[in-house]
């Protein structure tokens, strides 16, 4: 399966979320792309997270700094609530936290 980068990783810049939204009225159940702006945080090796739909994006390794969608992720309600709180407290941008 070939993946296409949606952006180049550059902290502070933004890209548009491309995750298709669920639409029960559509023939295939798939609607338009989310379209939210995702601001890139400063941790190359941590997922970028859409503030609207919580889609994850990962960054290529080595010399590849492309941002790629990872739409297979799902957050339980408590985890989604923590992520949304993180985004709200950081001006609309997800900032990873690290437990020790």
Could you tell me the residue ranges of all domains in the chain? Answer: 7-89
φ, ψ for residue 2 (rounded to 5)?
-90, 140
This prediction has a pTM of 0.83
pLDDT tens digits, one per residue of 25-47: 777 777 788 999 999 999 988 88
Which residues is 33 bridged to in the sheet? Answer: 20
CB 36 within 8 A of CB 2: no
At residue 66 the predicted structure's pLDDT band, cuts being 50, 70 and 90, is very high
């Amino acid at each position: 399966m070939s993946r296409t980068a949606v952006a180049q990783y550059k902290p502070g810049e933004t890209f548009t979320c491309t995750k298709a939204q669920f639409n029960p009225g559509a023939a295939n159940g798939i609607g338009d792309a989310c379209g939210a702006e995702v601001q890139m945080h400063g941790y190359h090796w941590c997922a970028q997270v859409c503030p609207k739909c919580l889609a994850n994006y990962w960054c290529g390794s080595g010399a590849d700094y492309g941002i790629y969608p990872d739409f297979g992720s799902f957050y339980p309600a408590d985890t989604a609530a923590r992520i949304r709180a993180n985004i709200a407290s950081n001006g609309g941008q997800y900032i990873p936290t690290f437990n020790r």
